[in-house]
Amino acid sequence: MAATFRLLILLLIVVVPPFVRAARDADAVVSRIAFGSCANQSAPQPIWDAVVAFDPQVFVWLGDNVYGDNKRPFRVFGKERTVGPWKNVPRFYPSTEQELRRRYQLAKAKPGYASLRERAQVIGTWDDHDYGLNDAGKEFSGKVFTQRLLLDFLDEAEDSKRRKQAGVYTSHMFGPEGKRVKVILLDTRYHRDPLLSDGTILGDPQWQWLERELHGPQSEITVIGSSIQRNGVIFVSGDVHFGEIARFDCGVQYPLYDVTSSGLTQSVDNSVPIVFQPIMRLLAVLAPTTMRVLNPNCLYKSCTTGQPNFGAIEIDWNALPPRIKLELRDVEGRSVHSVEFPISELQPSGALAMKKQEHAFQRHCTLETELPWLTQYWLALLFFGTIAVFIIAVVLLAITCLSSILTCSKKTKKE
């Protein structure tokens, strides 16, 4: 669930210190950035009104910007079996170029999104479903045309370098000197080695590019946190159909935040009947977590949201020192969860060393994979345990019924 620091890193937002090079995109001060992921082009998308109301100067797509692939029905038996070891067709299959283009047109025609495009600069990257196929990586054969279609959707210039490279990674620099925001967008699909292999997610050319972008030293490490030799880095990610804010204190010399916003339409609460939604909330409270930022101001006790949401970053450049607020907002534009701190906290400092004593710090320093086995899996155990008890109860009941019916019929025969 909260594998956000391991795999789902789609983008970095870097608050750039004053000394870096000239602005590329615009010289206007950027103080509000919104971001989101997982938007079903065939469903209503009421959340755009809330995004527009936040009035961002930049909106960042984090992937699954459309659902470009197709899902076969869940079938264990029959001619087309999509589940189980005996399945004979894959559950997901890609669309034709024409069909994918049509889906992007649907997405672009959403009135709320259209009005956002008039007000804000829209940039973005992709994830699997807009790349073309669920969980696909570099082996996916449609990637050349799906890259073209994403870049068309994002209004990338015809002569842009991004149209000639393999993959959609890119970076943007916003703002005048002293108030620069750099957005680095990664492509975690185009070059990704097969799942469960020991390979790479970004691929060599993108890694080299990223290192140049971060001015970091050359390295072959595949965990992005450890390659960041740079101050002011914040991660934002999508993909998982819920929202949360996580913090990891032991990656670099300052806290690393990851704001996960997912999805704009697709969300875990919407995927279950309304009566089960309180259960989903309870599970979210009970699920073990080491990195989630918890605070009493969260709209929900778990400090996660299973409702449609978007991410919002606000920078108060006029504060001394400038402050940043990371937030998740819902369809109504209500704040679901937020954290706020001076951007000077995103630099190595003595304060971090002092915090090492605190309980909260220890939590934010432990990887979920380092938790005891029972803590990691107790929810799964509870779930399967409940199912097992239920099945045993049904079987026992059936046996009891059957035997009493038998006894009864024997009795009637005797009489």
Ligand X SMILES: *[C@@H]1O[C@H](CO)[C@@H](O)[C@H](O)[C@H]1NC(C)=O
Q: Give, rounded to a whole angstrom, the gap between the first and last alpha carbons of the chain.
A: 63
Q: Which of 48, 54, 67, 113 binds ligand X (CB under 6 A)?
A: 67
- Retrieve residue 17's tokens: 């210190």
- Retrieve residue 230's tokens: 């740079």
Nearer to ligand X by Cβ, of 128 and 330: the residue is 128
Candidates 37-45, 295-303, 343-351, 370-378; binding stretch for ligand X (CB under 6 A): 37-45
CA angle 235, 239, 242 (to 5 degrees): 90
Should residue 42 be labelled a site residue for ligand X when binding is judged by CB under 6 A? yes
CB of 39 to ligand X, least distance (A): 10
Q: How many CB atoms lie within 10 A of CB 305?
A: 26
Candidates 40-48, 54-62, 349-357, 382-390; binding stretch for ligand X (CB under 6 A): 40-48
Nearer to ligand X by Cβ, of 129 and 179: the residue is 129
Assess contact for 263 and 39: CB atoms under 8 A. Answer: yes
Q: What does residue 221 show for φ and ψ, rounded to 5 degrees?
A: -70, 140
CB of 270 to ligand X, least distance (A): 9
Nearer to ligand X by Cβ, of 67 and 242: the residue is 67
Radius of gyration of the chain (CA): 24
356/350 Cα distance (integer angstroms): 10
CB of 262 to ligand X, least distance (A): 13
Nearer to ligand X by Cβ, of 208 and 271: the residue is 271
Nearer to ligand X by Cβ, of 45 and 260: the residue is 45
Binders of ligand X among 257-316, rule CB under 6 A? 266
Candidates 35-43, 222-230, 324-332, 336-344; binding stretch for ligand X (CB under 6 A): 35-43
Residue 265, helix vs strand vs coil: coil
Should residue 43 be labelled a site residue for ligand X when binding is judged by CB under 6 A? yes
Nearer to ligand X by Cβ, of 41 and 237: the residue is 41
Nearer to ligand X by Cβ, of 40 and 304: the residue is 40
Binders of ligand X among 124-183, rule CB under 6 A? none
CA distances from 304 to 167, 242, 300 (A): 32, 7, 7
Question: Which residues are CB-neighbours of 46 under 8 A, at least 6 positions away?
Answer: 112, 331
Q: Which of 31, 40, 170, 338 binds ligand X (CB under 6 A)?
A: 40
- Retrieve residue 410's tokens: 């024997």
Nearer to ligand X by Cβ, of 39 and 328: the residue is 39
384/370 Cα distance (integer angstroms): 23
Q: Which of 34, 57, 55, 37 is nearest to 45 (CA)?
A: 37
Should residue 104 be labelled a site residue for ligand X when binding is judged by CB under 6 A? no
Candidates 39-47, 154-162, 173-181, 360-368; binding stretch for ligand X (CB under 6 A): 39-47
Candidates 2-10, 17-25, 38-46, 361-369; binding stretch for ligand X (CB under 6 A): 38-46
Return the DSSP state at 4: G
Burial of 265 (0-12, 13-18, 19+ CB in 10 A): buried
Summarize as ranges the residues that interact with ligand X (CB under 6 A). Answer: 40, 42-43, 67, 266
